[in-house]
Amino acid sequence: MNRTVLIIGIVITLAIVVVLFLGLGKDPQHINSPLIGHPAPPFTLKAVGTGEPVDLEKLRGRPVILNFWATWCVPCYEEHPVLVQNARMLGPQVQFVGVVFQDDESKIMQFLRERGSSYPTLMDDKGKTAIAYGVGGVPETFFLDAKGTIVAKFEGPISSGELQANLVKAMGR
């Protein structure tokens, strides 16, 4: 009886330790996106500045890099030049799209004027698109393949290396 109780006690204690280790060892803000491997939620949003509607479904046929950001987000300042530079470098074979939420259009315009822009930036007024994508904070970048399936998600400011590594997945290589 003593031995059985001891073994059961050790098993339960180990299980609790493992659960706590797994739970406490990871970033509490990290979200494992259930959307990976699934079609990207479709949307049509207006571009900042021009007001032109951009339909995500019409961008199919090439990989899409969908970046959620905001002007009040400090890491987004660090990330912006990386995205602009890569969009220029990769050209039309990869479509970059920025989606701004919880922000003011005039501030976005000023940000883009000061820091440059090489792809459309769209306004997500009530954050519904961000919610549909399971965005937990900005910046967050989704990689869509040519068929419109989400193949990867990156949380935080992305570097050129990380961007291209994820782009390879979106290109199916």
Partner 1 sequence: MKRASSGQWSVVRWAVPAFAIFLVAAMSMPLRAQGDAGQRVPDAAQFVGAPKGLPLAGDALNSQTTEVSSMLRCPVCQGLSVADSPSAMAVNMKEQVRELLARGYTKEQILSYFERSYGQFVLLKPKFQGVNALVWILPIAALILGAVIVVTKVKRLEQPAIADEGAKPADDGGDAKPQVKPDKSAPVAPPIAEVDDELMPYVLRVRELAYGWPGGIDPATKENR
Interface with partner 1 (CB under 8 A): 1-2, 5, 8-9, 12, 15-16, 19, 22, 28-29, 31-35, 41-46, 53, 101-102, 124-137
Dihedral angle of Cα 25, 27, 31, 37, to the nearest 10 degrees: -70
Nearest-approach distance from CB 22 to partner 1, in angstroms: 8
d(CA 18, CA 159): 33
Q: Which is nearer to partner 1, 27 or 114 (CB)?
A: 27
Least spacing, CB of residue 152 vs partner 1, in Å:
15
Residue (61 or 136) nearer to partner 1, CB: 136
Cβ nearer to partner 1, comparing 23 with 161: 23
Distance from C-alpha of 40 to C-alpha of 62, rounded to nearest angstrom: 14
Q: Which residues pair with 101 in a beta bridge?
A: 124
Name which of 75 and 168 has its Cβ closer to partner 1: 75
Taking the complex as a whole, how short is the minimal distance between the CB of residue 35 and partner 1, in angstroms? 7
Measured distance CA(86)–CA(89) in Å, rounded: 5
CB of 118 to partner 1, least distance (A): 23
| Whole-Å CA distances, 57 to 125, 144, 149, 166 | 20, 11, 11, 21
**Using only C-alpha atoms, what is the Rg of the chain?**
20
